[in-house]
Amino acid sequence: MKAHPGRLASALLLTLMLASGASAQEGRDPLMRLERTARYSVEVLMDSARLMGLPTRPIESKVLEGLSKNASPRLILAVARNVFRSLRDARAALGPKATLDELDAAASALRVGMTQSELGQLGRSQHGKLLTVPLVVLVDLISRGVPRDTASQTIFQLWQRGAADDDFLGLWRGVERDIVSGADPGAALLNRARQVPSREPPPVSPPRPE
Amino acid sequence: MSDELNSIDESVRLIVMEARRPVAIDPEARRRLAEALRAEPAPTRSSRVLSWFVEPRPFALPPFTTAALAAGLVGIGVLTGIALNRDGRAPTEQPRAVAASSQLPDSVAPRAIKFVLVAPQAARVSVVGDFNGWDSAATPAKREADGTWTTYVPLRPGRHIYSFVVDGTHFVSDPSAPIAPDDGYGQKNSVVVVAGASS
């Protein structure tokens, strides 16, 4: 069979065009699905976050979540701005050493009504432990109807008593079961919190001699 | 004007005559050249191969083939650019080593986390979250005989937000996980904290 250079070249061209098209679909920016004006605003927002040393992943994730849920570009932009603001406030409250997960969890806590001063109080008594799990539990409790003040004060007291991640998760499971069984959310939390064993707080390092 | 043209024609004629005049070569010079050529080593096989690659040679291609090859080269460039994520835009996330703290090192391997939803009436269930770009086609769950849907997702230590998608349209939070608040889209998500980051 005689190879025809023209046909060969056509086949090569077609294959490459299809391959580049498919690959471009896979590799392109996921935010490309967002309407152009909103995308521009989100990109500016993310650039600002980057300049301020804030993580951009939570913002991008919220945008993708909105796209997945068929939210309007206007709503997506509003949600992204809210996430940006809460990340900025969380960083201000927790300081530059907070991890990405802590910042993200703290930003969620701010969005359910926790104040920056309460967050800062938690951050100042970290003793080297991560705040992620206590904040996740706190946000869940508020979302399930526990009064905000009750939830934040209880979590703060347990935190100061040296409660570990497992203690907080155990508390959450108990309260969640009680609420499902019909208990008042605030009362369920106070009741379950009494059952959390008090742990020795981490040793406080003595002040250095002058 | 005519005199000027005549003088140019005469000059051209003289140049042509000079160019056509045979050049007398000294026989001694011819002999020296022949000896020098004989003294040159014969080309080896490797040097012939090398010269095949480096010596210029003319070749001709039809315009369509040339265009196809050019398009092919552009396509390869585009594919390479995409593979290297060098599309001219700034990356959407800082390098993990910068964004994450030293308590969450990059070297910590992902762990397979099991997601379970009881939905006997569902025709299909998938998991979406910050780990798969909220793509409902990325992580489908498998139906068990008792009507539960399960899937495993490799997750890095840390906090992840997710949701189940039932029948492609209904977002359902995980009843066995802490809730993340509704940030405005109308549905609450779930949170999983993969151990390792806080220990």
Q: Which residues of B touch A129 (CB under 8 A)?
A: 198
- Interface contact flag, B158 A10, Cβ < 8 Å: no
In chain B, the domains with their CATH numbers are 2-38 (no CATH), 111-194 (2.60.40.10)
Residue B169, CA distances (Å) to A68, B125, B135 in order: 9, 10, 12
**Interval A32-60: pLDDT, tens:** 889 999 999 999 999 999 999 999 999 99
Among candidate residues A38, A36, A34, A55, the one with its CA nearest the CA of residue A46 = A55
Q: Which residues of A touch B191 (CB under 8 A)?
A: 136, 139-140
With bands split at pLDDT 50, 70 and 90, how would you rate the model's confidence at B11? confident
With bands split at pLDDT 50, 70 and 90, how would you rate the model's confidence at B104? very low
A164-171 LR contacts (CB < 8 Å, sep 24+): A164/A199, A165/A133, A165/A134, A165/B193, A165/B195, A165/B198, A165/B199, A167/A196, A167/A197, A167/A199, A168/A133, A168/A134, A168/A137, A169/A133, A169/A137, A170/A196, A171/A137, A171/A196
More confident residue, A49 or B69: A49
With bands split at pLDDT 50, 70 and 90, how would you rate the model's confidence at A128? confident
pLDDT (0 to 100) of residue B179: 93
Q: What mean pLDDT comes out for the span A84-99? A: 94
Q: Taking the complete model, does pTM exceed 0.90, yes or no?
A: no
Among candidate residues A67, A122, A64, A62, the one with its CA nearest the CA of residue A87 = A62
Give the percent of chain B with pLDDT over 90. Answer: 38
- Interface contact flag, A50 B90, Cβ < 8 Å: yes
Give the percent of chain B with pLDDT over 70. Answer: 75
Q: Give domain limits for chain A.
A: 5-24+31-193
pLDDT (0 to 100) of residue B64: 78
**For B92, which of A46, A105, A144 is closest by C-beta distance?**
A46
**For B158, which of A28, A101, A137 is closest by C-beta distance?**
A101
**For B128, which of A60, A68, A100 is closest by C-beta distance?**
A68
**Interval B20-56: pLDDT, tens:** 877 777 788 888 888 888 887 776 776 677 777 777 7
Q: Which residues of B touch A114 (CB under 8 A)?
A: none
Instruction: Report the gap between the CA of B130 and the closest CA in chain A (Å).
Output: 6
